[in-house]
């Protein structure tokens, strides 16, 4: 099956799209969580192409932090863009802190959101 070029995953940059650190091992963060793709609200707000291609390439610490701070329902409702994520005070504080660390730095683990 041929894909429409505009419906492809954005190309992987050399740096994390949140903290800006140069990292080879980037992960795909779906701005519209995959578990929410079939929800009626989601289908009203986003096209199928949107939910497949709204992706940020981010480092594992940024990815883990987003999922520690926000539920998938919150991400779908209000944090489905890079700008919205960076506007969240806790995420912005973490990204600012992490951006000053070397590429290989891995922060110590935090308890899961449900354990706090």
pTM for the whole thing?
Answer: 0.76
Q: Give pLDDT tens digits for 38-71.
A: 666 666 666 666 667 778 999 999 999 999 999 8
Average pLDDT over residues 6-26: 86
Strands 55-58 and 27-30: antiparallel
Tell me which of 36-45, 77-86, 87-96 is least confident: 36-45
The residue that leads in pLDDT, 10 or 101, is: 101
Q: How confident is the model at residue 93 (pLDDT cuts 50, 70, 90)?
A: very high
Q: Would you state the pLDDT for residue 30?
A: 85
Q: What are all long-range contacts of 67-75, with beta carbons under 8 Å and residues at least 24 apart?
A: 67/113, 68/110, 68/112, 68/113, 69/113, 71/113, 72/33, 72/35, 72/36, 73/36, 75/31, 75/32, 75/33, 75/36
What is the spatial distance between Cα 8 and Cα 62, in angstroms, rounded to a whole number? 23
């Amino acid at each position: 099956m041929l894909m429409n070029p505009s419906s492809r995953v954005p190309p992987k940059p050399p740096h994390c799209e949140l903290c800006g650190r140069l990292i080879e091992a980037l992960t795909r963060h779906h701005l519209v969580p995959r578990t929410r793709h079939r929800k009626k609200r989601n289908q009203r707000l986003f096209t199928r192409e949107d939910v497949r291609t709204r992706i940020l390439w981010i480092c594992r610490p940024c990815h883990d932090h987003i999922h520690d701070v926000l539920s998938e329902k919150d991400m779908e409702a209000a944090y489905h863009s890079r700008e919205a994520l960076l506007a969240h005070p806790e995420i912005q504080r973490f990204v600012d802190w992490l951006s000053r660390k070397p590429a290989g730095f891995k922060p110590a683990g935090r308890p899961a959101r449900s354990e706090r």
